[in-house]
Amino acid sequence: MLNVGSANNTIALRPPLRLAWPWSYRPAKGGGRDTRLDLLRGFCLFVMAIDHIGLFGPDTWLYAVTAKGEFFISAAEGFVFISGLVMGIVYCKTIAKEGLGKSISKILQRVVKLYWLTVGLTLFFTALATYTPLKLWAERDWITIKDPVELIVGSLTLHFAYHGSSIMVMYVLFLALAPLIFYLLTQGKVRLVLAISWLVWLGNLYYPNQFSLPFQSNFPFAAWQTIFVSGLVIGYYRERLATWFKPQWRKLYFTTISITAVLLLIFFLLDKAGWAQQSFLDSLNYRSVLAEMNDKGRLPLPRILGVSLYLQAFYLLASWLWIPLRDLFGWFLVPIGEAGLYVYSMHLVLIVLIYNIPGFLELPYLLYGLAELAAISLLWVAVKTHFLFNIIPR
Mean pLDDT for back-to-back runs of 10 residues, the chain (394 residues): 41 45 80 88 96 84 90 95 96 95 96 96 95 90 90 96 91 96 97 98 96 90 97 94 80 92 90 68 67 90 96 96 95 96 94 93 90 95 93 84
Residue 394 burial (C-beta neighbours within 10 Å; 0-12, 13-18, 19+):
middle
Query: What pLDDT, on the 0 to 100 scale, is given for residue 11?
Result: 40
Instruction: Tell me the CA distances in angstroms from 124 to 119, 210, 393, one per residue in order.
Output: 9, 32, 17
Asked if residue 43 is part of any domain, the answer here is yes
Contact present, 235 and 93 (Cβ < 8 Å): no
Query: What pLDDT, on the 0 to 100 scale, is given for residue 390?
Result: 87
Asked if residue 253 is part of any domain, the answer here is no
The span from the CA of 393 to the CA of 3, in Å, is 9
Contact present, 393 and 342 (Cβ < 8 Å): yes
Query: What pLDDT, on the 0 to 100 scale, is given for residue 277?
Result: 61
The span from the CA of 378 to the CA of 171, in Å, is 25
Asked if residue 390 is part of any domain, the answer here is no
Asked if residue 270 is part of any domain, the answer here is no
Asked if residue 392 is part of any domain, the answer here is no
Asked if residue 152 is part of any domain, the answer here is yes
Query: What pLDDT, on the 0 to 100 scale, is given for residue 17?
Result: 45
Number of domains within the chain:
1
Asked if residue 124 is part of any domain, the answer here is yes
Instruction: Tell me the CA distances in angstroms from 177 to 49, 104, 229, 253, 314, one per residue in order.
Output: 27, 11, 9, 32, 27
Those residues with Cβ within 8 angstroms of residue 334's Cβ, 6 or more apart along the chain or in another chain: 35, 38, 39, 42, 326
Q: Around Cβ 356, how many Cβ atoms within 10 Å? A: 14
Query: How far is the first Cα of the chain from the last one, in angstroms, to the nearest whole number?
Result: 11
Query: What pLDDT, on the 0 to 100 scale, is given for residue 279?
Result: 59
Instruction: Tell me the CA distances in angstroms from 237 to 151, 161, 212, 332, 390, one per residue in order.
Output: 42, 35, 30, 30, 33
CA nearest 49: which of 33, 37, 63? Answer: 63
Q: Around Cβ 112, how many Cβ atoms within 10 Å? A: 13
pTM: predicted TM-score of the whole model, two decimal places? 0.91
Domain carrying residue 342? 35-198+228-246+330-384
Residue 161, φ and ψ in degrees, nearest 5: -145, 160
Asked if residue 269 is part of any domain, the answer here is no
Query: What pLDDT, on the 0 to 100 scale, is given for residue 251?
Result: 86
CA nearest 354: which of 59, 142, 54? Answer: 54
Query: What pLDDT, on the 0 to 100 scale, is given for residue 13?
Result: 44
